[in-house]
Amino acid sequence: MKKIISFIFFAGIFYGCSSSDSATTAPPDTFYRGMDLSFQHELSGYGVLYRNATGNPEPLLDQVQASGANLVRLKLWHTPDGGLNGLNAVKAYALELKQHGLSLLLDIHYSDTWADPAHQTPPAAWQSLTTEALRESVYQYTKNVVTALEIQGTPPAFVQIGNETDSGFLWNYGKVWDDFDDNWGNLAAIIAKAAQAIREASPSAKIILHHSNVENARYYFEELQPYAIDFDVIGLSYYPQFQTKNLTTVQTSLNALAQNFDKDVMIVETAYPFTFGYDDNLTNYIGDASQIVPTYPATPAGQKAFLDKLTEILKNVPDRKGIGWVYWAPDWVAFPGNEATSTTGSAWENQALWNFDHVVLPAINAFQP
């Protein structure tokens, strides 16, 4: 039997005409129900089939579109091995999103690999730069990638500056943990250059700053507040196994963030199990009742009810500042691969939105407007 472990998982795959004719522009009062499909470039190479409610194979994005989802989040790495999550991959998938009428949330990690509070390694190409050169590189790179999406007619609705940047990012230039707790000015200057580039390249895009924890994010935005950074949305991760299981606390925290900083709030990463079982030999991130909200069991119905409750919570944020949520890796089902075993590998299959037969689960209906 697979050993289940619990540890802090800071998740973060992927991937033409002018922006004025883009099919991905949404009204300003849109409530977003999204999916992070950043694994698709990799999974599609294994021929993974996703089945609709009747059990028949159907292209993933056709099912996503039919579900009522209106946003897809894709992470971008600077110079990744094999091109996974690189700009060309993001651009290619963005074209597919446009064909399905789905808006894009571009999640720029500013790294060649995963970035999260414990890992914020600058791209190899930037690691010997001076502070000023680093800031200029952030500006030019950000402007180039956003411009590239604009040029091909797939402008992002949102651009996220860094991924789960509780500790800062681009260490040690923008690190604010450990011995760098007086480094907030440097972090703010880097973020400001990225924000400037986004405004110049895509004035309609909303800028997101992302913290990994709904209940503990206030300090981060208080530290940045004196620098008057230009951004629009407080992005948050909410995984009950790592954070509060009291949904009243989630509501209170979101309300306070929206009101204290006069920003929209969005949960840009969340997920919930439909079972504690497993479908391969790789350790899962969640596997027992101590890791979930007691009111919502690890069942298909419980998974959907959790997402419905999250929608209710966000819609109850004052002044309509709760603008949506994004489900992280709903497509990361068990698949033949090299994740950690010689057979199959997904650490997430019991939190996917397709079951172990790859048939879509009832939670897909939580994406309906």
- Residues serving a catalytic function are 164, 269
User: Which residues sit opposite 324 in a β-bridge?
Assistant: 32, 266
What's the rounded Cα separation, in Å, for the pair 32 and 26?
A: 10
The residue among 79, 99, 211, 94 whose CA lies nearest residue 146 is 94
Say if CB 193 and CB 241 are below 8 A apart.
Answer: no
Q: How far is CA 344 from CA 50, 101, 111, 185, 334, in A?
A: 17, 33, 27, 45, 6
20 φ, ψ to 5°? -65, -20
Query: Which one-letter amino acid corresponds to residue 341?
Result: T
Q: For residue 244, with 0-12 CB atoms within 10 Å meaning exposed, 13-18 middle and 19 or more buried, which class applies?
A: middle
Per DSSP, the chain holds a count of helices (H) and strands (E) of 8, 10
The residue written with tokens 């929608």 in the block is 311
139 φ, ψ to 5°? -60, -50
Q: Copy the structure tokens of residue 31.
A: 């409530």
Say if CB 32 and CB 158 are below 8 A apart.
Answer: no
CA angle 92, 326, 110 (to 5 degrees): 55
